[in-house]
Amino acid sequence: MIETEQFEEVLQIRMGREFDGKIRFCTTAYLVDDLLVDTGCAHTAMELAEFLEGRAIHMAINTHYHEDHIGANHILLERGIMICASRESIPRICEAPEMYEIRELAWGTPVPTEVSPVSSRIDTAEYSFEVVETPGHCRGHVALVERVKGWCFSGDLLVVAEPTVFRPVEEDLGQTLRSMQNIVDLESQRLVLFTASGSIIEDGRAALRACIDYYRYLAMRTKEMGRRGFSVRDIVERLFGGESRVAEVTHGDMSSEHLVRALLASDL
């Protein structure tokens, strides 16, 4: 299922599996001029390709290698659209990912594709985008910034305002916060975040600062409880009211316990 919304000169393309007439497990791509940012998940790959048919698209950028951002790569490549990603993302896009059940249900398994290295700047007919390294959510994550317009296509740099789970296999909390701060510090009159989770945040700086402050507050409370002798499970209970259901459905891949451990080990 696909839904679209126009914001200034950017077309937001929200997509995902349809349940009861609504998109579930939403992922989002953005189209501006002849540039597509991310290609969604495997479940909507053909639908996205058909939606884009007839549009003059020259290039698609994968902000990172996760399955909900690269799902239509193979079809778009077959239709002559160049796909680019960071050098760190390319090997992961070229191989079949390891998928646990909920990820397969939500996104489907993407077809491995050969993509090209993204350059540091991308020019379209009307706009010029800087490719900014924003690791933390995973290695090789990038954002696209158009400073004149104040646009930032931020991928999964900011997923939710107040995260309660963490994935230690790929995520790096310190890098995430440094990447957020680097985006906050960019010289531009405004900063609109176009997130992969489907939110367009017009005061992106305020949202990123709030998330940074939230993590710092959690780190302060976590370390204080750690010094007082509370166990990790006790801290999870006091901070979040118990373990997140996400831990169960991801078989422990993502959990509040992982977040507490990351906060205890951080230099925040």
Question: CA–CA separation, 147 vs 62, rounded Å?
Answer: 20
Which domains, from first to last, does the chain contain?
A: 2-205 (3.60.15.10)
Q: What digits encode the pLDDT tens for the residues 201-225?
A: 999 999 999 999 999 999 999 999 9
| 240 — pLDDT class (breaks 50, 70, 90) | very high
Say if residue 129's pLDDT is above 80: yes
The mean pLDDT of the chain is: 95
Q: What digits encode the pLDDT tens for the residues 251-264?
A: 899 999 999 999 99
**Predicted pLDDT of residue 209:** 98
What sections of the chain are H helices per DSSP?
45-52, 73-78, 90-93, 101-107, 173-184, 204-227, 232-240, 245-249, 256-265
Residues 113 and 77: beta-carbon distance below 8 Å:
yes
**Residue type at 171?**
E
Helices 256-265 and 204-227 pack at an angle, to 10 degrees, of: 80
| 181 — pLDDT class (breaks 50, 70, 90) | very high
**Mean pLDDT in residue range 77-82:** 95
**Predicted pLDDT of residue 133:** 98
Residue 140 falls in which region: left (phi positive, over 0), alpha (psi -120 to 50) or beta? left
Q: What digits encode the pLDDT tens for the residues 9-38?
A: 999 999 998 888 888 889 999 999 999 999
Question: CA–CA separation, 102 vs 107, rounded Å?
Answer: 8
The per-type count for the chain, helices as H runs and strands as E runs, is 9, 13
Residues 264 and 239: beta-carbon distance below 8 Å:
no
- Long-range contacts of residues 74-77, Cβ cutoff 8 Å, at least 24 apart: 74/45, 74/110, 74/111, 74/113, 75/45, 75/46, 75/48, 75/49, 76/36, 76/39, 76/49, 76/52, 77/113, 77/114, 77/115
Q: What digits encode the pLDDT tens for the residues 133-160?
A: 999 999 999 999 999 999 999 999 999 9
| 100 — pLDDT class (breaks 50, 70, 90) | confident
**Predicted pLDDT of residue 200:** 97
Instruction: Residue 207: count other Cβ atoms within 10 Å of its Cβ.
Output: 20
Share of residues in the chain with pLDDT > 70 (%): 100
Say if residue 105's pLDDT is above 90: no
